[in-house]
Structure 1
């Protein structure tokens, strides 16, 4: 792929000569339609490169980097890890709390317009091609899909941007002719809607080689329209000032929300009622089956029976092809780096199976009999900590520890997160953060040994460094939360650089159902009963048996657990305009298993803490100004800057 990319960019792209030439793109040379599409392999390579250059935040996305805007970077810390760590999903085991300001910003503006030029090049030559009209229609649909995807990503980051709808020709005598001003944010989002409609009209319902389909275009529209509607509806929660705001380049009127909610509803409804897409195995017999089914979606994305709507393929392992997902995510005990530490905030969000009529259960992990959920740490004055057998610490999450099987946590938790004591690649994963000494004093994140009242010697962290996967201090290779991630990695792949070849699901049916439910709930448009059914269908696939009400809180909580680690949560929080309040001096909650040596038969207790004190960066913060990134400006095209 690297060689293909080089050929295309050198032969077809007009790269930016410098930051001063932004949007003034002069072609180095031109290829005719016959040159490009006369050879089927050339045409295929060109299309493959365009698909590859779409801003898909997959396993090889590394935000905060330059070059290709952070995309297609198999080295370094993957975007899955970064994005999870700048919201409540996880904490970075090496650096701790991550402030969004330097992570979520990637140098995509330039790269996006480079890619758009190649897309517009394809658009310009389609009419000249000596192929059947049906083939031209498909290519035009793909052009519209790619255009919509790129402008969707630009609008998420920058608000209103220049809309360059046709291939531009450079005239040295009139370089200013290439200057295109920023469109309003409303017009930018509306252009995305219209391009999605063109794509949906022209694309086939089924396609090969991971190319876009009608349903992929509508799934993109569903996601994009919901984002736009949210920006309009919730913009007042993060009031901004400045020229870009007064000109409508950053922000929209609240009244615009209904239009975009309707667009989301229509696109989602079409997929729900006209396509063959559906939830993968929607009626499990029990939570154990639900766990297996949910996990299979991500380790076997090509066998989801219609759940996956659009997939980005990982061609093969090796440098420039495979990702390093397993290497970064796997437990230290199986040669991984253990850098993804899912937070207790996320673990708490999963329901249990109480399943009372009409109610979504609040099922925070019980650590004390009095249900005190304070994250203040160990309290030596309390004697009501729930005792758990040190050989089966996961009993805390299945209700066995306190005698109530209905309190077992949601199957999606077990499918998504490695819990203390569960197995990975045949290894029992040890997560012990310290111990309570016989005299009642706590040892936390300090590797040592202590003699218990039974005369035996115990490791404070459960073993030597190579024997444990949690809480080892100082090297960033062990969980610092008590949990590790499982959802996106495969036990069949090694924990090595460039060796993970899991394909990435860009759009899946469960998200469409949740988009529909949210759009109907927020707008009161569409079918309220069907929206409630859509919300509950996602829960029932996780083996829940009750029906919950269609409310904002229920929809948002369901998105949190269903779409965890899919690089969606950070964008949800951003479009709801809650990041600056949620991440105000924020530290993640964590759960620390401690071996209690105050008795002759030592048991584990679990203590709620935060990362504060063990993070290199301190609490994270997010300011209102970070909802929009700065647009690059130069001497020729002085675009108004975002607030």
Structure 2
């Protein structure tokens, strides 16, 4: 079945269902649980604007630079309190044990509901710290029951883990249709405990938390391996070969019933898009982070930007569309390379910012000002006319994350060799050479060195997958990362054609044979980044609309309140 889309019962008015229907009809119960997937399963293909992965596409959209990055973050910026949907879960959990249908179905559905309650609470806790724990379906009129003080963060984590442990015991071992199974629940528990062990929450570096995170992720990996899960060999095809062995938790899409069209349109060059362009335009900061195929770092100070594409690891080619890249969209196949250079209106060498991009067919303000476009997670076979028919699934958790989560925790509990071995697997899949020292270019030895190597690896391995924003926060390096930017700006490249009009590349061309015909200049974004104090990023403020609901809710300390999210 397709979650959130295919079963006609998915469209049932759940509020109108009688309790007896929920207790006697497994189809109704399944529809009720399906609604939880609709409400909580992430699916954001344009998630880079709050991080160093992407830059603003042009001056028209400069105002869209995230509040997190331009110094305008307030307590009202981030507002995510899904208590209405949590109440629906609580209603189901309060009744499901009395259901009269098949016991196996009942167990599985209860486990899925427990998972989604844990997921919903963790979504709030990682943003704000402790929140109000409401575990029963209280009537909206019962103000004393629903307007309660915030629980301690530690109490919330305990409840989240409790729900996950119960879910792990109830759900099916392995699902082939995208439902929450034991693989997903165990892996998500590992993610939760990794966050709880990270500096955002763990200021004293309590090794017991790291040990719990290590054990949870190690147990998850053992179970995943037993179910045939593992790293998918081809990183580029990971998102198009759906439900492959690396996929752990996924939101499925299928045209025509449930397409992901807007996201696909927004990440393509204008010539191959429709109605939108410019989401997730890769920054030069991200592009420079991809290693060379020998495992060494790319060094822009000693290398030529005209050939920045040469000898990079496979993830670079799977993720970044650059000037002269091989055809990567349907309309290009067998016809032409990807070009992002500029030339003047006569097709001669470009001059200044008014040069016209090679891919232009409208306003120059609608093109990538970094010279890059995202290639990762795209449905490469759809065209401009069918761009809203995209079917690429959103993978929320994959095997590589669990492996990297385990590696991070292993390093912090003194198991550096195990951490490095996990990284070697990731790099081997990326086509990086083992080298004479069989370390895949990772020279790290000490705990801090391995920690930094893991941070760098996650940046490129999980680019555009929604991990970076939360990683920077949990490591408490959000402010320092952006303050380290040269001139406090994001950067890109301006690529200009300096050959003749007659020589302009046509058809399929080896970029290496004409690289010297381009001038490549580093350029900066339209707006500088402006950072606030790190603590304001570690725990967001509680919005005024939430505080106004009840005098029992305290604001976080870093936002002028009294609530300590570290307890």
Q: Same fold (TM over 0.5)?
A: yes
Find the aligned partners of 2:499 and 2:298 in 1 and give their Cα distance. 29
SS at match of 1:215: helix
2:297 aligns with 362
Q: CA deviation at 1:195?
A: 1.8
Find the aligned partners of 1:254 and 1:299 in 2 and give their Cα distance. 43
Answer yes or no: is the 8 Å Cα contact 2:342–2:495 preserved in 1. Answer: yes
- Aligned partner (choices 530, 540, 547) of residue 633 of structure 1: 547
2:92 aligns with 122
Larger deviation, residues 154-163 vs 575-584: 575-584
Answer yes or no: is the 8 Å Cα contact 1:586–1:621 preserved in 2. Answer: no
Larger deviation, residues 505-514 vs 88-97: 88-97
1:196 aligns with 164
Q: CA deviation at 1:518?
A: 0.8
Quick one: structure 1 residues 634 and 619, their matched pair in 2 at CA, closer, same or farther if it must change by over 3 Å? closer
Residue 397 in 1 paired to residue 278 in 2?
Answer: no
2:261 aligns with 323
Residue 184 in 1 paired to residue 152 in 2?
Answer: yes
- Aligned partner (choices 314, 323, 329) of residue 253 of structure 2: 314
CA RMSD of aligned residues (A): 3.1
Q: In the TM superposition, what whole-angstrom CA distance separates every residue of 1:440-482 from its partner, at most 9, and x where no partner exists?
A: x9833213xxxxxxxxxxxx5447x229xxxx633x3x11101
SS at match of 2:361: helix
Find the aligned partners of 2:256 and 2:57 in 1 and give their Cα distance. 26
SS at match of 2:48: helix
Q: CA deviation at 1:322?
A: 3.6
- Aligned partner (choices 523, 528, 531) of residue 621 of structure 1: 531
Give 1:194-593 correspondences, 5 Å limit: 194-230=162-198, 233=199, 235=200, 253-255=203-205, 257-275=206-224, 276-282=227-233, 293-302=234-243, 304=244, 306-317=245-256, 321-336=259-274, 337-339=276-278, 340-355=280-295, 361-365=296-300, 371-372=301-302, 395-398=307-310, 408-422=311-325, 423=327, 424-425=329-330, 426=332, 427-433=336-342, 443-447=351-355, 461-462=357-358, 465-466=360-361, 473-474=364-365, 476=366, 478-495=367-384, 498-524=388-414, 527-546=415-434, 547=439, 548=442, 549=444, 551-584=450-483, 586-593=488-495
SS at match of 1:593: strand
1:41 aligns with 27
Q: CA deviation at 1:420?
A: 0.8
SS at match of 2:238: helix
Q: CA deviation at 1:4?
A: 6.4
1:607 aligns with 520
Answer yes or no: is the 8 Å Cα contact 1:145–1:199 preserved in 2. Answer: yes
Find the aligned partners of 1:216 and 1:596 in 2 and give their Cα distance. 52
Residue 58 in 1 paired to residue 43 in 2?
Answer: yes
Quick one: structure 1 residues 127 and 335, their matched pair in 2 at CA, closer, same or farther if it must change by over 3 Å? closer
Q: CA deviation at 1:507?
A: 0.7
Answer yes or no: is the 8 Å Cα contact 1:141–1:199 preserved in 2. Answer: yes
SS at match of 1:445: helix
Answer yes or no: is the 8 Å Cα contact 1:583–1:622 preserved in 2. Answer: no
Structure 1 residue runs without a partner (length 5+): 13-30, 60-79, 236-250, 283-292, 356-360, 366-370, 374-384, 389-394, 399-407, 436-440, 448-459
| TM-score normalised by length of structure 1 | 0.71
Q: In the TM superposition, what whole-angstrom CA distance separates every residue of 1:341-398 from its partner, at most 9, and x where no partner exists?
A: 211111111111234xxxxx11135xxxxx358xxxxxxxxxxx67x6xxxxxx5412
How many residues are paired up?
Answer: 502
Structure 2 residue runs without a partner (length 5+): 504-513, 560-567
Find the aligned partners of 1:419 and 1:133 in 2 and give their Cα distance. 54
